[in-house]
Amino acid sequence: MERIGEYLVRRLLGEGGMGKVFEAEERLSKRRVALKLLKPELAKSEEGRRLFLNEMSILSRLDHPNVVRCLACSEVEGQLVMTLEYLEGKTLRQELTERGALPWTDAVAITVQVAKALAAAHRGDPPIIHRDLKPENIMVLADGCIKVMDFGIAKVLEAMHKTTTQSVGTLQYMSPEQIDATGVDARSDLYCLGLIFYEMLRGSPPFDSASPRQLLNQQCTEPPPSLPEAVRRSLPRGVERLVMQLLEKAPEQRPASAEAVLRELEPFAPAGDGGRPATAQQEREPADGADQGALVRTADTGGLRAAVAPSRTPLRVKDTIDLLDRTRPVREVPARLAWLAILGLSLVAGVITYFARSQQPRPEPSSTTASALQRQADD
């Protein structure tokens, strides 16, 4: 088994323009991690090494649920290595390849979580601009949680290459100002977010060409085509308006910040952090080890399902009615009402007894008693 520093490499997870990613195991703790080995040219110069370490030191302070955590950065035998949290899931690219266009509610839920990641990065000091936001850099976990990867790496690569020329695949997710090299800020990431949002709704990006020159021209000059009528029929106007606003060529005409995007999406977003509906088992039983007195959060709405009194025995809820029966308080009956009820029942019982006795036949006198009465009458 190959070893990289303190990690045992299990398998290759993927390979892209920035390097290779491996599943690995930390030798002492046995913790599963993802190792990203960046391109060797990054470590060949002092400038590349300095830029990498500077960006990673900034990224290490970015701790957000929708951002892949960077656990450590190191240099192993001249190779720059990032140790990342290991995630079970698919990239958004894989999701789109398998499903095609997504329901607008799913697209909004994903966009909201990506916007939260961008908001956290952009309000850093200094702000962290992604510069290469695309479906390949967005992870969709099994529970619907979204994780954004590779913050800051594109900045290092651009500085090393002294150019913004990238592959055609990346050109599909570059802002006009990034292509023109006129300066990149947070609104450049918002343009890329608009490209991804559009693609989730339509099933394909707004601009596509086999020619890099033509694709660059489309990104910089052509307005995005309208969404298909079949999509627009069910799409709220506010969502469509926001998508087109994100795709404005001029940065000042886009939303001012990721927080502004979140405010625009708030009326259409899930009640919580988004995500897929929980399974039936997840709906009925709290997670193992959870405090039974805590509020249980459902995955589909993010809302609070119920507050249950603490108990030493695990709670097993069969259905909603059972849950209500468990938590319904005992009703107390006032004393006066109780006495009136008892008195009324006693009265009813007395009346019933009286009528029952009055209907019974009177017994016939015996023959001995009848003879005695006859002799008294003769005397």
At 248, is the secondary structure helix, strand, or coil?
coil
Among residues 160, 328, 314, 190, which one has the least CA distance to residue 255? Answer: 190
| Contact (Cβ atoms closer than 8 angstroms) between residue 209 and residue 250 | no
Share of the chain above pLDDT 90, in %: 44
Residue found by looking up tokens 């509020």 in the block: 295
Q: Which residue has the higher pLDDT, 139 or 300?
A: 139
Region 169-187: mean pLDDT is 86
In this predicted structure, the answer to whether residue 236 has a pLDDT above a threshold of 80 is yes
- The CA distance from 46 to 56, in Å, is 15
Q: What is the mean pLDDT of residues 210-228?
A: 93
DSSP, residue by residue, 249-293: SSGGGS-SSHHHHHHHHTTTS-SSS--PPPPHHHHHSPPTT--TT
- The neighbour count for residue 134, using CB atoms within 10 Å, is 21
Break the chain into its structural domains and give their ranges.
3-85, 89-265, 280-327
Q: Is the pLDDT of residue 109 over 50?
A: yes
Cα-based distances in Å from 278 to 284, 285, 302: 10, 11, 10
What is the spatial distance between Cα 219 and Cα 200, in angstroms, rounded to a whole number?
Answer: 18
Among 3.40.80.10, 1.10.10.10, 2.60.40.420, 1.10.510.10, name the CATH number for the domain at 89-265: 1.10.510.10
What is the spatial distance between Cα 162 and Cα 143, in angstroms, rounded to a whole number? 40
Catalytic residues: 132
How far is 240 from 227, CA to CA, in rounded Å? 8
Would you state the torsion angle of the CA atoms of residues 356, 358, 360, 361, taken in this order, to the nearest 10 degrees?
-170
Beta strand pairing status for 89-91 and 138-141? Answer: antiparallel
Rounded Cα distance between 180 and 171, Å, is: 12
Question: Dihedral of CA 269/272/275/280: which sign?
Answer: negative
Read off the pLDDT of residues 269-319 as tens digits, 9 standing for 90 and up: 877 654 443 333 333 344 343 333 333 333 333 332 333 333 333 333 333
- In this structure, what DSSP letter does residue 361 have? P
- What token pair was written down for 310? 């603490």
Identical fold for domains 3-85 and 89-265, yes or no, is no
Q: Is the pTM of this model over 0.85?
A: no
Report pLDDT for 54. Answer: 78
Cβ atoms 96, 199 nearer than 8 A:
yes
Q: What is the pLDDT of residues 328-343, one digit of tens each?
A: 444 455 666 666 777 7
Place of tokens 């999406």: 265
- Assign 370 to helix, strand or coil: helix
Report the chain's mean pLDDT, rounded to a whole number.
77
23 burial class (0-12, 13-18, 19+ CB within 10 angstroms)? middle
Q: How many CA atoms lie within 13 A of 156 on its CB side?
A: 29
Predicted pLDDT of residue 275: 46
* Site of tokens 């110069």: 45
Q: Does the pLDDT of residue 58 top 90, yes or no?
A: no
Find which of 40-49, 55-64, 69-78, 189-198 is predicted with most confidence, using mean pLDDT.
189-198
Q: How confident is the model at residue 56 (pLDDT cuts 50, 70, 90)?
A: confident
CB atoms within 10 A of CB 174: 26
Measure the N-to-C terminal CA separation of the chain; round to a whole number of Å.
134
What is the Rg, in whole angstroms, of the alpha carbon atoms belonging to the chain?
A: 36
CA–CA distance, 133 with 114 (Å, rounded to integer): 10
pLDDT reported for residue 285: 41
What would the mean pLDDT of 108-128 be, rounded to a whole number? 94
Query: In this structure, which amino acid lies at residue 77?
Result: E
Q: Is 2 helix (H, G, I), strand (E, B) or coil?
A: coil
DSSP 126: S
pLDDT over 80 (residue 158): no
In terms of Cβ atoms closer than 10 Å to its own Cβ (0-12, 13-18, 19+), residue 15 is: exposed
Sole residue written with tokens 């956290």: 120
Is the CATH number 3.30.1490.190 carried by domain 3-85? no
